[in-house]
Amino acid sequence: MQVSVQRKNGGWGSKFRGAFKSRDIFLHDGRSLRRFTVGRRAQAAATGAVLGLLAWSGYATVQYASAMTSDVATMQRQVADMQQDVEALRTAAAERAEVVEQRQAFLSAMLSGQADPADVARLLPAAVDGDIEDPRIAAEFEQIEGMQLSLAAQADAATRARYRQTAAAVRRLGIDPRRLAQGGVGGPFEEAAGGATPANADVDPRFAQLFASWRQMEQLEQGVASIPSMMPVQGARWTSSFGVRSDPFRGRAAMHGGIDMAGPIGTPIYATADGTVATAAWNSGGYGNLVELGHGAGIATRYGHLSRIMVRDGERVRRGQVIGLMGSTGRSTGSHLHYEVRIDGRAVNPLPFLQSGQALAALQSSSGGRGGSR
């Protein structure tokens, strides 16, 4: 084997050397002729050097291409990461902008004085989830949000103060403000499937508190519309007060459950608060032609001795609407209006209600005209 290998190697070497022959090169510079001989070994060495250079160049090219491919892949990953960061920033900014718009819509609706509570409830803004990493963008949002939160805090404080003022006026009439609260919630309990949460579970608590204060105030001001606060007749003279008096027919002490105001037959009689007609008919118990209005919250008013009734049972009436004409029907000695205010069916003195007319009218006006009977 050793001999054959040597011969084989020797054969390749002979062939390689045989590929080169001694070559004579003649140079003539115009005066003399020179001869140069390039031997086979010199040619073989030069060829080997060229082949080595080509091999090294090929290897270096492969290594460079490999390095370039790795760098390109790294840059592509970096670009992808940057795009992902930009998209996350864009998403966070869009979500924060949406919350800012929700807050603005909520504040505008609530402060308009004409909004429906259900509509305002649907506008309650969600709580902010997460921060914006870019400090410049975050600073701009924080400035706007700071103004909104300041406005919300001022509105909440003003609403609470307004509620206290209204509640105090209502208490002076002997009425518990809670009586005037509208609405309610309830129903049988049924477990929510799938771990469901309330629709307002993610509401910003600061705006939820403002909505609760505003809703409480709005309910009270609507309830104020059920308080009889205006004069039932204009230009009449007082002839009998509330309380114990001498009965005009029997001449002995008797309880008078209202006040009497005299005037010409046919004088207009006005509803003293928004309400619904509970009775509009002849009453044989001494009232004659009687209109009784239910104002909600257990409050009612009665208008007796009318010469004419101008409303029907079940009809809704507004404060200041003409409901009848003065007369002298029933147990009466002359043309006058017998006027009563009743709470839970019990007659109370109407005078404090009439004396508080201007204050309550101002409170009713501040409710934005959204009052009504219940």
Per-residue model confidence (pLDDT) at position 325: 97
Per-residue model confidence (pLDDT) at position 275: 93
Per-residue model confidence (pLDDT) at position 170: 86
Per-residue model confidence (pLDDT) at position 189: 41
Taking only the tens place, the pLDDT of each residue in 325-358 is 999 999 888 999 999 999 999 999 998 888 877 6
* Phi, psi (rounded to 5 degrees) for 159: -65, -45
Instruction: Give the rounded distance of the alpha carbon of 159 from its chain centre.
Output: 17
Per-residue model confidence (pLDDT) at position 109: 79
Per-residue model confidence (pLDDT) at position 63: 67
Per-residue model confidence (pLDDT) at position 187: 43
Please give the biggest Cα pair distance in the chain.
172
Per-residue model confidence (pLDDT) at position 98: 72
Taking only the tens place, the pLDDT of each residue in 31-44 is 666 665 656 666 66
Q: pLDDT under 70 in the chain at which residues? A: 1-46, 50, 59-60, 62-96, 113, 128-138, 140-141, 181-201, 244-253, 255, 358-374
For the chain, the structural domain boundaries read 100-178+203-224, 237-366
CATH code for 237-366? 2.70.70.10
Per-residue model confidence (pLDDT) at position 196: 39
Q: How far is CA 55 from CA 42, 50, 84, 374, in A?
A: 20, 9, 44, 100
Taking only the tens place, the pLDDT of each residue in 7-32 is 455 565 566 556 666 666 656 566 66
What is the chain's mean pLDDT, rounded? 75
- Within 13 A of 113's CA, how many CA atoms are on the CB side? 7
